[in-house]
Amino acid sequence: AQSVTQLDSQVPVFEEAPVELRCNYSSSVSVYLFWYVQYPNQGLQLLLKYLSGSTLVKSINGFEAEFNKSQTSFHLRKPSVHISDTAEYFCAVSDWKFQGAQKLVFGQGTRLTINP
Amino acid sequence: NAGVTQTPKFRILKIGQSMTLQCTQDMNHNYMYWYRQDPGMGLKLIYYSVGAGITDKGEVPNGYNVSRSTTEDFPLRLELAAPSQTSVYFCASSPDGSEAFFGQGTRLTVV
């Protein structure tokens, strides 16, 4: 069964500094990988996803993540953060089998706090 | 553009009571999921469905039941509510497992 580990429960950074949120997964088959963001008192929204092809994927608001199969990682990065990036971020994995994607499993979440 | 709709938004239950959390989606998605979110624990998958008539257990199914009689609806049933079921519950749907769309959540307190 697949599983996801987010290595940091909280990450405080200063505005305009770079940030990396770490995510490792385990799975015995091909995977789809996702990062979701949750703002206070809201549901989750998709930030970016890796399904196939280029291992570097980007979001419209400057985040990017790289699929590293050998290290089973999918770390999220942003070169310069803004106050509005303050949120909780979740990494997720879905096994892919010939009959399609299977259950979608999430990590524990990383709370990103941006300080002015 | 309703997307995924969950009802109710809030509910307080007494120990031993039962209730159904409703989830409906209008995007004709095959996949639907139920999660619970507890502080510091992330989202735990309770049950999921890959199509009408097909359901399967997730990571934490005990104490819950689901059904999927139509593509649109995926209700979650709690029998004999316990304090450990106090949580925020999220329903989500996906066309094919490639992206999930979430509802706004149901905050449930069992006292």
Strands (E), B4-79: 4-7, 10-13, 19-25, 31-38, 42-51, 54-57, 64-66, 76-78
Domains observed in chain A: 3-115 (2.60.40.10)
| Tens of pLDDT, residues A41-94 | 888 999 999 988 899 999 989 999 999 999 999 999 999 999 999 999 999 998
User: Distance (Å, rounded) from C-alpha B83 to C-alpha B110?
Assistant: 5
DSSP state of A27: -
Answer yes or no: are the C-beta atoms of B7 and B22 closer than 8 Å.
yes
d(Cα A81, Cα B15) in Å, to the nearest integer? 45
Q: Contact at 8 Å (CB) between A97 and A29?
A: yes
What pLDDT was estimated at residue A101? 61
| CA–CA gap between residue B104 and residue A65 (Å, rounded) | 26
Q: Which chain B residues are within 8 Å of A101, Cβ to Cβ? A: 31, 94, 96-98
B75: preceding bond cis by omega (within 30 degrees): no
All structural domains of chain B, each given as residue ranges with its CATH number in brackets, are 4-110 (2.60.40.10)
- Rounded to whole angstroms, the Cα distance separating B49 from B51 reads 6
Q: Is the dihedral of CA A65, B91, B35, A27 positive or negative?
A: negative
Residue A12's contacts (CB-CB under 8 Å, 6 or more residues apart) are A113, A114, A115
A–B: how many Cβ contacts below 8 A? 68
Mean pLDDT of the B94-110 span = 91
Taking an 8 Å cut-off on Cβ atoms, the answer to whether B96 and A9 are in contact is no
Looking at residues B55-74, what average pLDDT do you find? 95
Task: Please give the pLDDT value at position A103.
Answer: 80
B14: closest CA of chain A, how far (Å): 24
**Is residue A4 within 8 Å of residue A91, measured between CB atoms?**
yes
Which band of pLDDT confidence, cut at 50, 70 and 90, is reported for residue A97?
low
Tell me the average pLDDT of chain B.
94
Could you tell me the pLDDT band of residue B2, with boundaries at 50, 70 and 90?
confident
Name which of B101, B109, B83 is nearest B35 in CA terms.
Answer: B101
Distance CA A105, CA A92 (A): 5
Tokens at residue A44, please? 């989750």
Quick one: pLDDT at residue A52?
Answer: 86
CB B46 within 8 A of CB B34: yes
Q: Which pair of structure tokens corresponds to residue B43? A: 């989202």
Contact with chain A for residue B39, Cβ under 8 A: no
Q: Give me the pLDDT at residue A29, please.
A: 74
pLDDT reading at A98 higher than 70: no
A46 touching B (Cβ < 8 Å)? yes
Contact A49/B at CB under 8 A: yes
Which residue in the set B41, B101, B105 is minimally distant from A108, CB to CB?
Answer: B41
Under 8 Å between Cβ of B32 and B55: no
Model confidence at B38, pLDDT cuts 50, 70, 90, reads: very high
